[in-house]
Structure formats: C-alpha cells, structure tokens
Chain A
Amino acid sequence: MILQPVIHHWRDFNRADRLAGTASVTMMVLILVALLAPLLPLDPPDQVAAHPRLSEPSADLVFGSDNLGRNMLSRVLQGARITILLSAIAVLLASVAGVAIGLIAAYSGKALDEIISRFSDIVFSFPAVLMGLLITAIVGPGEFAAICAIILVTLPPIVRVVRAAAMEVTGTDYVTIAWLSGASPARLLLVNVLPNISVPVVTQVAYSISIGMLVESALSFLGLGPQPPAASLGSLLREGSVYITVAPWLVFGPAIFLVIAIWSTNLIGEGLRVFFDPVRARCLEE
C-alpha cells in the first residue's frame, strides 16, 4: 500500500523515458541484492577454500571461485555493497555541502561568489585519481580517503549547478516580490529559491553517484581504497587482473556489476533530466 504512489510515479517516469525506467528498476535490484547479500543462501565472502581454487563459472558458482577458493559471487556482492555505500555516503555529504555553498555563492554576489567559484574551479581541475593519491598521502588509504576523494571530485560540479540555477531563480519576479515584502535571506533561499532549483540539483546528484562509484573503483584498483580483507569492486578487479590469462571470470564478475551499475545511474540521471524538462511539461500541458 505504501508503494502505491511510488509505483504511480515510476509509471510516469517510465513513460517519459523507458530506458531510464528500466535502469531504475535494475539499479534497485542491484542495490537490494548487494545490501541483502548476508541474508542470501551464499558462502560467506571471506570463507577460504569453500570451493576448488580458480574453478570456472557453473550453475552453482555463477562467477566462479578465486585463487583462495572463495565464492566470487559472494565477494562481488560484498564489494558492490561497499562501492555503492561509500559513493552514496560521499555524494550525500557532497550534495548537502554543495547546495549550501552554491546558494551562498549565488546570494552573496561579487567577492564571496568570486572566491567560491575560483576555488571550486581549482579543485575541479585536478584529475580524480590524482586527488585520491593526494588524500591518501595525507590521511592514509582506506574508506575515509575514498569518501574524501569522492566528495572533492563531485562537489565542484554540484556547487556550479546550484549556483547557476539559483542565480537564474533569484532574478525572477517572484523572488523580487518576496524580497520587497521584507522576507529574510533565509526565507528567500529556503522558500523561494531552493524548491525551484531541485530539478537540476537532483539530476546532478544522480550523475555524481555514478562518478562516485567510478572514483571509488579506480582508487581501490590502485589499492588506495578499503584495505583487505574488505574488498570493493575495484580491488576485486585488481586481484582478478593477475589471473586474467588463466581465469578471466575473476574480472568479468566485478566488471559486469560495475558497468551495469554506472550505466544505470547515468541513464537514471538522463531520464530525470528529460522527465523534469519544462519543454516536455509544456507539451503535456497543451
């Protein structure tokens, strides 16, 4: 019963962009499977010698087993859980910070705006991996470093999108009129600006999650993310790459999961953009 409105909105969304509708269902399934993996009837991901070493994929062992005889499916699901969780947490923090900073930049004008914009340009100009290396050099490798790197990579675009959208809305008549009737800056921003920039912000956040997963995987691939025995999709890829000539399935499992997850998130982001597009809304109106 609670799902009724969710399904209703999903139907509209699916009708606007069927690919994105499918992608949203796929992503939902991936997240559920990754989160509920401990409850599924699978071998524990760290159980060594549960199966013969480097066994090929079969009906029981969908992704085969690794060099220590661990079930790759369990490992991929555990790795996916870490990858998705880390990027979700990081992007959540980045969006809260990005919305606040972007609104302040748009509202304060001139000097502060200039400082914020230039600073975010500078941060944005560093390649993601370089940024990750810099941070691990300071805080040491691990989950915290990964989160920091994702935040620093996804924050500048969010700030930019929020600032641009907020500036456009600040110039509209209804904000002028609210200002005229004596509204405080907080009221102007929270009541009149924030709800009307939600569309570009939500879209940008969806893109940020896919960037987050990519950055996390890249860092883990370089061994700078979560440390063993914890594994994320990136570190599984690195471990598997050693055996790529003899047991290519070690790479296929995590790679397929990562590709599907990132592709789906991008499609959802694109779908959200189309779904909220004012031109499309006008077509429906008429």
Chain B
Amino acid sequence: MPLNIGCTARPGKSRDNRTGSWRVFYPVFVKDKCTGCGICTLICPEGCIEVKGEKEYVPDLNYCKGCGLCAEECPGDAIMMEKEEK
C-alpha cells in the first residue's frame, strides 16, 4: 500500500477486507420455510445477505462472520447454523 498524502482512502476498502474467515458457523437458508419477510437482510450486521428472488436470500460467505443473528431473528426458523470444517 503506498502512502497517500493526508492518509486518505477511496471508498470500497471494506470490500477488500474479506471477513468471512472468522466464522465457526455458517447460515444455511431453507427455502421451504422462508416467509419472504426479509428481516435477515435488515438484521445482518455485515449487510451481506442479498435478495436474489422471491424467498431467495443468499449470504455472501466472503463477508459473513457467522454471528447467527439472521437465524436467531428469522420468524420461520428457515435459517440453520451449520458448523464450519476447520
């Protein structure tokens, strides 16, 4: 990284910083149980759950830290937390 005068940075730095490796658990979305409420996208602290279609929510595992808030808040219990292999 070069030294920018004034210690400036351009937007997008957090995209380079893939935080997914911290996970112990990862979320698995069960489409059958999904009500399509979208709470998971709102609650995700990383903002890494994308709406791909109706009742189709996909977490970006490059950034998901496995906190499990989505699974905790999901009203249809449609998100399971599975243990990562390490």
Q: Do A and B assemble together? A: no
Interface of A toward B, CB cutoff 8 Å:
none
B residues sitting closer than 8 Å to A (CB atoms) are none
